[in-house]
A = this chain, B = another copy of it.
Amino acid sequence: MPKTVLVVYAHPEPRSLTRRFVAETIQTLERQGHTVHQSDLHGMGWKATFDEDDFPGRINNDRFAFIQESEHAYRTGQQTRDVATEQRKLLDADAVIFHFPLWWFGMPAILKGWIDRVYAYGFAYGYKGAGNRYRYGDGILKGKRALLSVMVGGPAQDYAPRGINGPLDELLFPITHGALFFPGMDVLPTHAVYGTGKLDNAVAEKEIAAWRSRLDNLFDETPIPFRRQNGGEYQGNILAEEFSPGEAGLTVHIDH
Contacts and interface: CB of A to CB of B under 8 A. Distances in A.
A208 to B, nearest CB: 18
A223 interface: no
Contacts of A222: none
Nearest to A106: B174
Interface string A38-55: 000010001011111000
Contact of A239 (B66, B108, B164, B238): B164
Per assembly, the copies of the chain total 2
A15 B60 CA distance: 13
Given A16-B65, A103-B116, A106-B174, A251 B249 contact: yes
A151 to B, nearest CB: 11
Given A171-B173, A237-B158, A109 B112 contact: yes
Interface of A: 12-13, 15-16, 42, 46, 48-52, 63-67, 101, 103-110, 112-113, 115-116, 119, 132, 136, 153-155, 157-158, 160-167, 170-171, 173-174, 177-179, 182, 197, 229, 234, 236-239, 244, 247-253
